[in-house]
C-alpha cells in the first residue's frame, strides 16, 4: 500500500499524481484536501444527502439561473436546466481508458498511457475550481452495505451534479462512515473547468451552465480512478453512472467474477401468476427505459420496473445469475415519452423532476416532441429562444433528459432495491435496425447468446456526439462503456455462464423493435405491444422447464423464431405481410452481415474466444444451407 510518505515532496504544488498516491491510502479526508490543493476551490462542502442540503443547493441554482422553477401547480418540486448548447451528450471521442497496457483497453476505447494522461489532466485541473465551491459527495451504487453494492466519493464543483447524484445514487452520512472506517471506495473527481477567478486573481462572472470546450472523461482501471473535466452533462459528469457503474465496475467484475452491464431489469408476471426476471441490453436511446416501464397490452400480464439503464450481475451460491440495479433514479430520454408510449414514465415525472434541455410552455410547464400528439402553439425552445411549430426545428433537444427518483415510478417492483438482487431467467439483446434483424430470435444456448450480444449493431442516436442514423457495431450495448478489451468481455461472459448451474442459466434472446417497411414506417407498433414478445419469451422459458409441451419455435439460421401462431398478435392491426417481414431472415444480406462480423472480429485479433468464431462459422453454414 502506498502511504503519504511516498508522496514526492519536490513538487512546488500538489499535482494530480500526488492526488492519486493519496487516494491509494484510502484516506478520504487527505484525498479531499489534496484535490482541493490541486483545484483551489473557494470552499469545500461535505454532502450528506439531506433534504436540507438539497433545498439550499436548489435555491442557489435558481438564483444563478441554472435551474428554472416550473409552475408548482403544474409540476411540483420540478425544474428546467438548459445546458450550454455545446454540452448536450456524452463525448465518446474524449472518453479515455488509461490502462497501463494499451492492449487491456482494447481497440474500441481511446487509450492514453496513464502517466501521460495524468500530466495532461494535471494542467487542466490545476486551479480549475478557483472561486467555486467544491462539493464532496459520498455515494453508494446499490443499496448501502449490500453484498453486490460498491461505494464511491465524487468531488465536483457543480451543484447540478450534486443534486442529480442525490437522485441517481444513494448519498448519505452512512456511506461516509463506511468510507471512513476503511471500506473500499472509488475516487471520482469532476470539474466543469470554468474557474471564476483567474491565475492573476481577477474575478469573472458565472454563467448558468459553466463548462469548458476542452473535455476529458478519463478512467484509470488499475487504480479505479475517474477524472472528468469540462462537461456538466449527465453521462460525462454524474460519475456514479457510466464512469463508475459501467467502465470501472466492468473491470472490477472482470477481476472478481461478475458483470456490469448496460441493461434494464424487469419482473414479468404471467396470467398464471408466475414471476420471471429479465435483463435487456439495448444501445443508448434504443428503448431500455420504455421496456423497463412497459404496460402490457395483453390481458393478465404485468411488467414491473427494477432498473432502466444499468445492471450488475453476479453468480449466486444457488447457481442462478443474480442482478441488482445499482442506481436509485432514472436519467431518461424525454423525446418520444408520452401517455400512449410510456404512461408509467409520464406518471413518474409528475413532480420532483429535473428536466434538462426540454422546451418550456408559456404556463411554466415542460414539453418535448412526442409528449402530446400536437405541439403547443408557442414554446421557449431548449436554447431559450421563442418557438412555434412553423419553425421546423425540434423544440426539445433530441437528447433532452429527465432526472427522477426510481421510487416515484408507479410500476416500480416490490423489492426492486433488495440488496440480494433478483435471479435472472432471461437476457435480451437488441438494437435499432431498420433492416435484416428479426423482431425476436432465441439463442441456442449460452455461447450462441454471447455471440448475439457480441454482434449487436445499431443505428446511432443522439445520446452521444456523432452522426445520427449511422450503423455501427455496439457489442453488448457496451461499446462506449466497457472499461477493458471488448473481446475479453466476451470471454468473461463465457466464463460467467460456465459458473452457473446449467439448469438455471438464463435463456438469451435477440430483439429488434425498429424494423421498417419500404416506405420507412416501423413494421412493429412497439412500446406496450412489446409485451407480446415478452410473453413468447416467457412461454419459451416454460417450455424449457417442462411447464408447456406445445411447440413454440422453429429453427432458423440466426436462432429460434416464433412458430406460426406462437407469437400472440390477436387484436393487433398489423399491415398485410408485416409479421412475415418482421420475422424474415434473408440469407444473402445475413451472409454479408457475417462478412462484416468477421471483419469486426478481426479488429480484436486473437482475443476473440474460439467459441464465438465457431458460432460465426456455424451461422454461415446455416445461411448457405437455407439459400
Ligand atoms: P439511454 O438512457 O440512452 O441508455 O436509452 P434507453 O435505451 O433507455 O432508451 P429509451 O427507452 O429512452 O428510448 C429512446 C427512444 O426510443 C425514445 O424516443 C423512445 O420513444 C423510442 N422507443 C422506445 N421503445 C420503442 C419501441 O418499442 N418502438 C419504437 N418505434 N420506438 C421506441
Ligand atoms: C446513455 O447515453 O446510454 C445514457 C445517458 O443512459 S448518459 O448517462 O448520459 O450516458
Ligand atoms: Mn444508457
Q: Does position 3 have pLDDT exceeding 70, yes or no? A: no
CB 321 within 8 A of CB 224: no
Q: Does position 514 have pLDDT exceeding 90, yes or no? A: yes
CA of 253 to the centre of ligand 3 (A): 19
Residue found by looking up cell 433532452 in the block: 400
Average the pLDDT over 233-255 and give the result: 98
**% of the chain with per-residue pLDDT over 90:** 96
CA of 19 to the centre of ligand 1 (A): 40
Residue 19: all three cell numbers together = 492526488
From 233, 403, 433, select the one nearest 308 (Cα to Cα). 403
CA dist 162 to 132, 139, 349, Å? 14, 11, 20
Take atom 7 of ligand 2 and give the residue whose Cα is closest.
235
| 409: annotated active-site residue | no
Q: Does position 4 have pLDDT exceeding 50, yes or no? A: no
Separation CA 512–CA 352 (nearest Å) = 33
CB 318 within 8 A of CB 144: no
Q: Does position 216 have pLDDT exceeding 90, yes or no? A: yes
Residues around ion ligand 3, judged by CB within 5 A, are: 284, 309
Separation CA 548–CA 540 (nearest Å) = 8
E strand or H helix at 400: none
Residues 128-151: pLDDT tens digits? 999 999 999 999 999 999 999 999
Q: Which is the closest atom of ligand 1 to the Cα of 370?
A: 20
Q: Is 273 annotated as a binding residue?
A: no
From 75, 228, 59, select the one nearest 67 (Cα to Cα). 59
> What is the crossing angle of helices 28-39 and 173-180, to 10°?
100
Residues 355-375: pLDDT tens digits? 999 999 999 999 999 999 999
Start-to-end CA span in the chain (Å): 62
The answer to whether the pTM exceeds 0.80 is yes
Q: Does position 229 have pLDDT exceeding 60, yes or no? A: yes
Q: Does position 108 have pLDDT exceeding 80, yes or no? A: yes
Model ipTM value: 0.99
Q: Is 285 annotated as a binding residue?
A: yes
Q: Does position 226 have pLDDT exceeding 60, yes or no? A: yes
CB 83 within 8 A of CB 356: yes
Confidence class for position 11, pLDDT limits 50, 70, 90: low
| Backbone dihedral angles phi then psi of residue 404, each to the nearest 5 degrees | -155, 150
pLDDT of residue 467: 86
Q: Does position 576 have pLDDT exceeding 70, yes or no? A: yes
Mutational pocket test of ligand 2: of 285, 326, 397, the residue with most ligand atoms within 8 Å of the beta carbon: 285
Of the residues 98, 211, 286, 409, which is catalytic?
Answer: 286
Tell me the CB-side half-sphere exposure of residue 226, using CA atoms within 13 A: 32
Confidence class for position 466, pLDDT limits 50, 70, 90: confident
Q: Which domains are delineated in the chain?
A: 2-66+91-257 (3.40.449.10), 260-328+414-626 (3.90.228.20), 330-408 (2.170.8.10)
Amino acid at each position: 500500500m502506498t502511504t503519504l510518505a511516498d508522496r514526492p515532496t519536490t513538487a512546488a504544488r500538489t499535482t494530480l499524481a500526488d492526488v492519486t498516491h493519496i487516494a491509494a491510502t484510502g484516506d478520504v479526508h487527505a484525498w479531499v484536501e489534496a484535490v482541493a490543493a490541486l483545484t483551489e476551490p473557494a470552499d469545500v462542502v461535505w454532502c450528506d444527502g439531506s433534504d436540507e442540503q438539497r433545498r439550499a443547493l436548489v435555491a442557489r441554482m435558481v438564483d444563478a439561473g441554472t435551474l428554472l422553477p416550473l409552475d408548482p401547480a403544474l409540476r411540483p418540486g420540478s425544474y428546467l436546466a438548459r445546458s450550454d448548447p455545446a454540452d448536450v451528450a456524452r463525448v465518446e471521442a474524449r472518453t479515455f481508458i488509461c490502462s497501463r497496457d494499451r492492449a487491456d483497453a482494447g481497440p474500441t476505447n481511446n487509450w492514453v498511457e496513464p502517466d501521460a494522461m495524468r500530466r495532461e489532466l494535471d494542467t487542466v485541473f490545476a486551479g480549475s475550481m478557483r472561486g467555486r465551491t467544491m462539493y464532496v459527495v459520498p455515494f453508494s451504487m446499490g443499496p448501502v452495505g449490500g453484498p453486490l453494492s460498491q461505494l464511491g466519493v465524487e468531488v465536483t464543483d457543480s451543484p447540478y451534479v450534486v443534486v442529480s447524484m442525490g437522485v441517481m445514487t444513494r448519498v448519505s452520512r452512512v456511506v461516509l462512515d463506511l468510507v471512513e472506517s476503511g471500506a473500499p471506495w472509488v475516487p471520482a473527481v469532476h470539474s466543469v473547468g470554468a474557474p471564476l477567478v483567474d491565475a492573476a486573481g481577477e474575478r469573472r462572472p458565472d454563467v448558468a451552465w459553466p463548462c469548458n470546450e476542452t473535455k476529458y472523461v478519463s478512467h484509470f482501471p488499475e487504480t479505479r480512478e475517474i477524472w472528468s473535466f469540462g462537461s456538466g452533462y449527465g453521462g460525462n459528469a454524474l460519475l456514479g453512472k457510466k464512469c463508475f457503474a459501467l467502465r470501472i465496475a466492468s473491470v472490477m467484475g472482470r477481476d472478481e467474477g461478475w458483470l456490469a452491464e448496460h441493461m434494464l431489469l424487469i419482473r414479468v408476471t404471467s396470467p398464471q401468476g408466475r414471476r420471471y426476471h429479465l435483463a435487456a441490453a439495448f444501445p443508448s436511446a434504443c428503448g431500455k427505459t420504455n421496456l423497463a416501464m412497459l404496460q402490457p397490452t395483453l390481458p393478465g400480464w404485468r411488467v414491473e420496473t427494477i432498473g432502466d439503464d444499468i445492471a450488475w450481475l453476479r453468480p449466486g451460491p444457488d447457481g442462478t445469475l443474480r442482478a441488482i440495479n445499482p442506481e436509485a433514479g432514472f436519467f431518461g430520454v424525454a423525446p418520444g415519452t408520452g401517455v400512449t408510449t410510456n404512461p408509467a414514465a409520464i406518471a413518474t415525472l409528475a413532480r420532483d423532476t429535473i428536466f434538462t434541455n426540454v422546451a418550456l410552455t408559456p404556463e411554466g410547464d415542460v414539453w418535448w416532441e412526442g409528449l402530446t400528439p400536437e405541439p403547443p402553439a408557442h414554446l421557449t425552445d431548449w436554447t431559450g429562444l421563442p418557438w412555434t411549430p412553423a419553425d421546423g426545428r425540434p423544440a426539445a433537444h433530441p437528447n433532452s433528459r429527465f432526472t427522477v427518483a426510481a421510487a416515484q415510478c408507479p410500476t416500480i417492483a416490490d423489492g426492486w432495491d433488495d440488496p440480494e438482487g433478483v435471479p435472472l431467467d432471461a437476457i435480451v439483446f437488441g438494437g435499432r435496425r431498420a433492416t435484416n434483424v428479426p423482431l425476436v430470435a432465441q439463442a441456442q444456448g449460452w455461447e450462441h447468446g454471447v455471440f448475439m450480444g457480441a454482434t449487436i449493431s445499431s443505428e446511432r442516436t443522439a445520446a452521444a456526439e456523432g452522426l445520427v442514423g449511422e450503423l455501427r457495431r455496439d457489442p453488448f450495448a457496451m461499446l462506449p462503456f466497457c472499461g477493458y478489451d471488448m473481446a475479453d468481455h466476451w470471454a468473461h461472459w463465457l466464463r460467467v455462464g460456465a459458473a452457473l448451474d446449467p439448469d438455471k442459466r438464463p435463456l438469451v434472446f435477440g430483439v429488434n423493435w425498429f424494423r421498417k417497411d419500404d416506405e420507412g414506417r416501423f413494421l412493429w407498433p412497439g412500446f406496450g405491444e412489446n409485451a407480446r414478445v415478452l410473453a413468447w419469451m416467457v412461454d419459451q422459458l416454460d417450455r424449457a422447464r417442462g411447464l408447456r409441451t406445445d411447440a413454440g419455435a422453429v429453427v432458423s439460421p440466426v436462432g429460434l423464431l416464433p412458430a406460426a401462431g406462437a407469437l400472440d398478435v390477436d387484436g393487433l392491426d398489423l399491415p398485410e405481410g408485416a409479421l412475415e417481414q418482421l420475422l424474415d431472415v434473408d440469407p444473402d444480406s445475413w451472409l454479408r452481415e457475417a462478412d462484416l462480423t468477421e471483419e469486426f472480429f478481426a479488429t480484436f485479433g486473437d482475443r476473440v474466444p474460439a467459441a464465438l468464431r465457431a458460432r460465426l462459422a456455424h451461422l454461415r453454414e446455416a445461411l448457405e444451407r437455407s439459400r
